[in-house]
Structure 1
């Protein structure tokens, strides 16, 4: 894949993953509004975004094939571990915006900003360590 196509597809898939993440956060908040609803919604959105992004990256960006189920599980676990640092970036921006502005739209915009920065870092980690 050419560099320009890679950037376009990776950006598109990052956008889809961001929509899945923020969308499931919103759904989670609509379903449950009790104690710790915001942190719970962020965890739910993070999990959904992680699975969506893994599948898109594996198939379309890195064109990676697993040898068997065990190899696939190990790849997903490594992908998840590589995502811990980028998740810290994302959560830092989202919870930081919430602490500063105390509003859902600001928190979501902080989350989107953190996800964009995190996905740039994550591409390099995944290329080097997960899908090498």
Structure 2
């Protein structure tokens, strides 16, 4: 459905979007934990956040494209352009996510608090991101 993005008006799509957001959050936090287990050097937290963000981004793009917006790319270059635009829309929402994650870390100085802050930031970010994607990426 390339001509117009589906609305989240149906309960089915709301549940799917929430499920995909939860899966993406779990992937993000899980990849962060794996990264921290693999590397404990000077920039371990920053690297883990980047790894988690990248993994969650790719997973969420694929799920949203196929199941939420039912979007088909015309060709590979269109697909790459769509992913680039999807990623660009994620910049603002990533600032929200990172603000909560690094803010929780600065306040509480603990890994669990940082992960909870990240999950809260991701949740808020996904609500904003849906609106951006509907208007600018999958329209």
Give 1 or 2: higher helix fraction: 1
Whether these two folds match at TM > 0.5 is: yes
Structure 2 partner of 1:66: 73
**Aligned mate of 2:122, from 110, 115, 122:** 115
Q: TM-score by structure 2 length? A: 0.94
Q: Among residues 84, 88, 94, which one is paired with 1:77 in the alignment? A: 84
In 2, the alpha carbon distance for the partners of 1:41 and 1:27 equals 8
Give the counterpart of 1:94 among 97, 101, 114. 101
Query: How many pairs were matched up?
Result: 132
Residue in 1 aligned with 2:26? 19
2:42 paired with 1:35: yes
Structure 1 CA distance, aligned partners of 2:34 and 2:116?
16
- Cα RMSD, aligned residues only: 0.8
Which structure's relative contact order is higher, taking Cα pairs within 8 Å and 6+ residues apart? 2
Structure 2 residue matching 1:119: 3-state secondary structure: helix
Gaps of 5+ in 1: none
Unpaired stretches in structure 2, ≥5 consecutive residues? 1-5
1:3 to partner: Cα distance: 1.4
Q: TM-score, normalised by structure 1?
A: 0.99
